[in-house]
Chain A
Amino acid sequence: MGQVKLISRFFEIEGCRLRRVYEENGGYAAARRVITENWTGEKIIETLKKSNLRGLGGAGFPTGMKWGFVPRDQEGPRYLVVNADESEPGTFKDRHVMLHAPHLLIEGIIIAAASIDAEEAFIYIRGEYWEPYRVMLEALEEARQAGYLGENIFGSDRRLEVMIHRGAGAYICGEETALLSSLEGYKGFPKLKPPFPAVKGLFSRPTVINNVETLSYVPIVIDKGPEYFAGLGTERSGGARLFGVSGHVERPGVYELTLGTPMRELIYTHAGGVRNGAKLKAVIPGGTSCPVLRADEIDVPLDFDSLARLGSMLGSGGTIVMDETTDLVEVLLRICRFYSWESCGQCTPCREGTGWMTRIMERVAGGQGNSRDLDDLVDIAQKITGNTICPLGDAAALPVISFITKFRDEFEARVASAAAAAGRPQATERV
C-alpha cells in the first residue's frame, strides 16, 4: 500500500514527450507484443478483466467488462473514443498524463482499439487544453511516422487512425453520451441509456469510451501482468490511480497511490498536510460531485467500495482539501452555481432544481436565509436524484445533501446570524 510509480514514473523522465525517450524507458513494448503476437480481442479482454482495472473517469466501471460488451461479429466500423474532457472541478490528472506521457496514452489506445477491432479512434479533448492538444498532436505524428499508427501498424495487417477533436467549453460534454453528440457535431445533449454506447455509440456504431488515465494503465497491465496489477489494489479495485490534490495543502499535485491507501496518507504524507499548520475541516474526495467528508472521516481507504460505504465516491480522484478557515456556505454556493450553469436543461428536475438550489443558496450565503431554507435545499436535492437522463442531476444534488447534513451547524449559524442581523426570530417564514 502507498505510493507507486506506474504512470507517474514517466512524469519524472526528462523529455518523455518524445517517442525515442519513451521507448528507451520501455515504452511501446506492450502494444508491440499485443499486435505482433496477434492477441485476440478475447485474450486482451481477459487480461484486463483479471487486472481489476476500473474506469478512472469517475464511474469506476470495470474496463475489461466494458470492452467485452462490444459486439464484434457485425459488419461495419467500431470506434474507440478517448474522454479527455476533464472538466470536473478539482480534477487535473489527465492533463498531466497528456503533457508528460502522451505516448503512454497512445499505446493504451492501440491496445484498446485492438481488443474491439476498431480502426478509428477519436480523442475528445477540452478546448481549453491547448498545450496538451499540441503535445498530443506531435506525439500522434511521431507514432504515425514510426509505423505505430496508420496502415499496417507494427508491420501487422492492422490499421489504426487516431483523430483528435477539440471541445468548445461545456462540462456536460464529459458525460459519455453528451460527448458523442458533441463529437458528431451537435449540441452536447446527453441521451437516455439504453442503448449503451457499446452497442450504439458514435455514428450509431458500437463504441468504447474510456478516460485518458484508464487507457494509460492498459500498457502497464500488459507489461507487468494482470496479477501484479490486481495485487496492488483491494479485492474489487485493481491497481493504483492518480490522485490530484488541491486546495489548502503544502504540496498540491498529482500522486499515484495503490487503491486502498488511506486518504490521511495522501493528504498528510504525500501532499504535505494542511498548509501553514492549520486544522483540517473538510475534504471533497473525487471532484465536486462527490459528497464531502468531515475531517474525522479521512482514514477511509481510497478505493471505490470504501468510499461508497461512507456514502461518497472515489470519482475522478480530484481531492480538494479545505482547512478550518474555509467558508463552506460559500463553497456549496459555488458548487451549486457550477451545476446550474452547466445543466444542459433537457430534464426539468435538473434544470429547475439546480436553479432553485442556487437561488436559495444565494439567499442563505447573502444573509437572508432561514433554517427552513436548509430543509428545502435537501428536499429539492432529493427530488432531483435518480430522476434525470444523465448523472449531472445527481452530481448537483449530492454535494447539497452532504454539505448541509454533515455541516448543519455551520449552515445554521449562518442563517442564525442573518436572522439576528435582521432583528427577527430565526425560523420565520421565507421572505
Chain B
Amino acid sequence: MPVAFNDQQMKTVRHLLEHYPRKNAALGDVLHLAQEAFGHLSPEVEEYVAGLMELPVSYVHQVVSFYTLYLRKPVGKYHLMLCDNVSCMICGAGELLEHLRKKLGIEVGGTTADGRFTLWTVECLGACEAAPVIMINDKYYGSLTTRKLDELLDGLE
C-alpha cells in the first residue's frame, strides 16, 4: 500500500489543522487517521506524517511510542484486548486468558498464523460493571464466560 492519504483524507487533515491554534496539537488526530488508513504506524508512515505536518520524524516517533493505541506493528483482523485489571481479574479474566491462549495457540502480544487474531491484555477499559470485559477492534463485550467468549469468537466472520 502506498503511504499517502487520498483526497478525502487530506481534506480531513486540513480540517484538523484548522481545529487547533497550533499545528502540533493536530498530531494525535492525524496519527489516528493514518492508522485507520494504513493499518499501523510503520516507520514509513511516521516519516510521511512528519513530512505532512512539517515536524521532525524523531518527534513524531516519540509521540507514537508513548501511547499504546498507536500500533507500531500490524495486528490481526480481530484485535482482542482482554482487560485483566483488578475488577476483571477478580471476576475471572485469568481463566479467559488461559482459554484464549489455548484456543488460538498464541501468547499475549501474538497474532495467529492466518492473521485473524491478535491477543493483548490491557489495562482497565472503564467498563468494570461488566467485568470481565474484552474489547474487539472498536467494540466492548462484557460479563464474559468462556462459553460466551467462544460464541462471540465463533460468530465473527
Hey, which bits of chain A sit against chain B, CB under 8 A? 77, 86-92, 94-95, 126-131, 163, 165-171, 182-188, 203, 244-248, 252-254, 284, 288, 318, 320, 322, 326, 330-331, 334-335, 338, 341-342
Contacts and interface: CB of A to CB of B under 8 A. Distances in A.
B126 A168 contact: no
B125 interface: yes
A289 to B, nearest CB: 11
Interface of B: 19-29, 31-32, 62-63, 66-70, 81, 84-87, 89-91, 122-131, 135, 138-140
Given A170-B68, A247-B91, A331-B86, A252 B25 contact: no
B60 to A, nearest CB: 10
A429 to B, nearest CB: 32
A253 B87 CA distance: 12
Contacts of A128: 69, 81, 122, 125-126, 135
A92 B140 contact: no
Which among A91, A168, A184, A338 has the highest number of chain B CB atoms within 10 Å? A168
Nearest to A91: B126
A342 B63 contact: no
A334 B89 contact: yes
B68 A320 contact: no
Contacts of A335: 86
Contacts of B130: 252
B28 A182 contact: yes
A409 B16 CA distance: 56
Given A88-B124, A90-B128, A246-B131, A168 B86 contact: no
A188 B85 contact: no
A165 B126 contact: no
A188 B67 CA distance: 9
Contacts of A165: 28-29
Contact of B129 (A184, A253, A334): A253
A245 B128 CA distance: 8
A203 B128 contact: no
B72 to A, nearest CB: 12
Shortest Cβ-Cβ A-B pairs, 3 listed: A185-B24, A168-B67, A169-B68
Contacts of A330: 89
A203 B90 contact: no
17 contacts: A89-B86, A92-B128, A94-B126, A126-B126, A168-B28, A183-B28, A185-B25, A185-B63, A186-B63, A187-B63, A203-B25, A246-B91, A246-B128, A254-B129, A320-B90, A330-B89, A338-B124
Contacts of A245: 129
Given A186-B24, A320-B86, A168 B131 contact: no
